[in-house]
Amino acid sequence: MTEVNQQARRRFLKGLGVAGAAAATAAPMAAFANTSAEGVKWDKTVDVAIIGSGFAGLAAGIEAKRKGAKSVTIFEKMGVFGGNSAINGGLFAAPNTPMQKQEGVKDSVEQMVADQLAAGRGIADETLLRHVAEHAAEALQLTIEAGAEYHPYLQQLGGHAVARTYQTTVSCGAGITQPLLKLARKEGVEAVARIKFEGFVTGKDGKIEGFKARENYYFGDEKSGKVIFVRALRGVIMATGGFAQNINLRMAQDPTLTGEVGCTNHKGATGEAMLEMFRMGAIPVHLAHIQSGPWASPDEGGFGYVSNYSIYNFPHSIAVDTQTGKRFMNEIADRKTRADAELNCRDAEGNPMPPIMITSWKHADEHPNAKKVLKYNVGWKFDSLEALAKHFNVPLKALQQQVDEYNGYVKSGVDAQFGKNMAEAKGKFLEAPFSVVRLWPKVHYCQGGVQITKDARVLDSITGQPIPNLFAAGEVAGGIHGVSRLGSCSIPECMVMGMTAARSVMGA
């Protein structure tokens, strides 16, 4: 860690007041013990049991039925289906898609993998990334078959060399999870909510026979519901997501991620199922790499409206330090690069000074969230640069110089300050009226989890071999993306690995 980053880290800890918030806001956790199958009375028996109802779980359920499973059940801890997937940004990256051909975008599996490896900073899993990229278009087609609707244009997100990202017309993941759930039920998949996984049931040979759960569970009340045992004849697919809302666990990896740091995840993203896989002997990988979203706003809770608005507008906007009136980063660099740069925007005492993103209103208004950020008072509209500078106490002269300089980059197509790819900014000059939002990172995604094979099998830390009948897909699996995941690469990973897990469990 460089001296600059060490200083930033110390200021971050000081600014957020580490002593405090963790214990009070941490999700309740229980210690469960895995159970021997000997003498267990099974309450339910299925061919394939899937824990979690997000992108990975739903894709796995559909694929398992299509590969011949007689009975498939998706078990969801919370009261509604979709998990964290339902509230994510609804952004899906894939190479060699019909819309890329339509827009004349040249792309390839190799380019998508190369972009992700660069963001992963040397520790991403190339084999898994390539597997996902090779099947991403297939997974995208499944969502379209299910009824997902996307905007008729592609986006180029930070760290991507080309535009390859689709976005749902509702600008969130529910535009995919709801159609997938409907298709899953049509295929004969059963989906049940308020079933909390509490540990595995194993045979004498260590094979996963099923699991213990709590039926009619209500999140937050660990004694609610009734204990049941579910037998899975072919296997259990774990699709339970990350642990971003488990404050004690995330602070164990990074002490700066206290309860005072915002989070885009739903409250149920607490990671108990991942911990149970570790108890079974699964290999922990990259748990300390927890990603913060640089497009989030300190003025709203959760993912909010600003996040998708920012993601769309970053290519033709500038991010400005309010203290200097100057840009401080490449607005479409990878997430970690931008989040680290934003966290350095502080006053002399180390207190956070959230930077602002400035966009011409006529371009910002092309995104459906533009009017919403104004309606809910998490964004502002100004008729002049003078009014903007006065509102945020930004040095006007420096800001005017920065805007003029940036407009020169738009004209020339070359960003001399930070090397930003200006292709998506062509012809989009910064002109009044302006739209402005504030930026500050929020905990968004856990790169760490259990280690899996390309076939989605969970590996044993002692033998190095797959744990019999145990599969994992999505954010609960770790090591795929390395240090930093590129935006819009989570949905294809979840979908592809969910489908892969189903094929593996069915021997297809």
Token pair 């208004």 in the structure block, residue: 365
Strands (E), 318-456: 318-321, 326-327, 356-360, 379-382, 434-438, 442-446, 449-450
In angstroms, the CA 455 to CA 476 distance is: 15
- Strands 434-438 and 442-446, how do they pair? unpaired
Q: How many helices (H) and strands (E) does the chain have?
A: 16, 20
Residue 179 to residues 115, 149, 174, 186, Cα–Cα distance (Å) = 30, 9, 8, 11
Among the listed residues 170, 117, 109, the one whose alpha carbon sits nearest the alpha carbon of residue 137 = 109
Positive/negative CA dihedral, 94, 175, 449, 209: negative
> Average pLDDT, stretch 331-357?
95
pLDDT in tens, 65-99: 999 999 999 999 999 999 999 999 999 999 999 99
For 208, 355, 455, the CA distances from 459, given in Å and listed in that order, are: 13, 43, 11
Confidence class for position 15, pLDDT limits 50, 70, 90: very low
**Structure tokens that stand for 385 in this block:** 């640069």
Q: Which of these, 351, 335, 353, 368, lies nearest to 444 by C-alpha position?
A: 335
For 4, the 3-state DSSP assignment is helix
- Complete DSSP assignment for 266-294: -TT---HHHHHHHHTTBPEE-TT-EEEET
Report CA-CA distances (Å) from 229 to 53, 119, 148, 196.
Answer: 19, 42, 35, 11
Dump pLDDT digits (tens) for 366-404.
Answer: 999 999 999 999 999 999 999 999 999 999 999 999 999
**Residue 33: its pLDDT value, please?**
55
Task: With beta carbons less than 8 A apart as the criterion, state whether 91 and 164 touch.
Answer: no
pLDDT in tens, 27-42: 444 445 568 878 899 9
Q: How far apart are CA 250 and CA 246, in angstroms?
A: 6
The pLDDT tens digits for 185-231 are 999 999 999 999 999 999 988 899 999 999 999 999 999 999 999 99
Q: Is 160 exposed, middle or buried (0-12, 13-18, 19+ CB in 10 A)?
A: buried
CB 176 within 8 A of CB 56: no
What percentage of the chain reaches a pLDDT higher than 90?
91
Alpha helices in 80-225 (DSSP H): 98-103, 109-120, 126-146, 174-186
In the chain, where the domains are located: 35-91+168-244+444-485+493-505, 295-440
Q: To the nearest whole percent, how much of the chain has pLDDT over 70?
A: 93
> 249 with 243: CB under 8 angstroms?
yes
According to the model, what pLDDT value does residue 11 have?
Answer: 46
Place of tokens 């294809």: 492
Identify each DSSP E strand in 193-295 by its residue range. Answer: 195-202, 208-215, 226-238, 284-285, 290-293
Q: What is the pLDDT of residues 450-502, one digit of tens each?
A: 999 999 999 999 999 999 999 999 999 999 999 999 999 999 999 999 999 99
Average of per-residue pLDDT values in the chain: 93
The mean pLDDT value for 97-103 works out to 97
Query: Using CA of residue 117, residue 118, residue 119, residue 124, what is the dihedral sign?
Result: positive
The per-residue pLDDT for 36 is: 84
Question: pLDDT at residue 409 above 70?
Answer: yes
Which pLDDT tens digit goes with each residue over 114-159?
999 999 999 999 999 999 999 999 999 999 999 999 999 999 999 9
CATH number 3.40.1160.10 is the correct assignment for the domain at 295-440: no
Question: Rounded distance, CA 146 to CA 89, Å?
Answer: 18
**3-state helix/strand/coil string of 410-421:** HHHCCCCCCCCC
Active site residues: 335
| Paired tokens of 140 | 């995208």
Shortest CA distance to 504 belongs to which of 463, 437, 458? 458
Rounded Cα distance between 439 and 390, Å, is 18
Q: Which two tokens stand for residue 77?
A: 């801890």
pLDDT in tens, 134-145: 999 999 999 999
Q: Specify the pTM.
A: 0.88
Q: Residue 256's pLDDT is what?
A: 87
pLDDT score for 1: 41
How many residues are listed for the chain in this entry?
A: 508
CATH superfamily of 35-91+168-244+444-485+493-505: FAD/NAD(P)-binding domain (3.50.50.60)
Alpha-carbon gap, residue 494 to 474, rounded angstroms: 4
Cβ pair 89, 171 in contact under 8 A? yes
pLDDT for 38: 85
For residue 302, is pLDDT > 60? Answer: yes
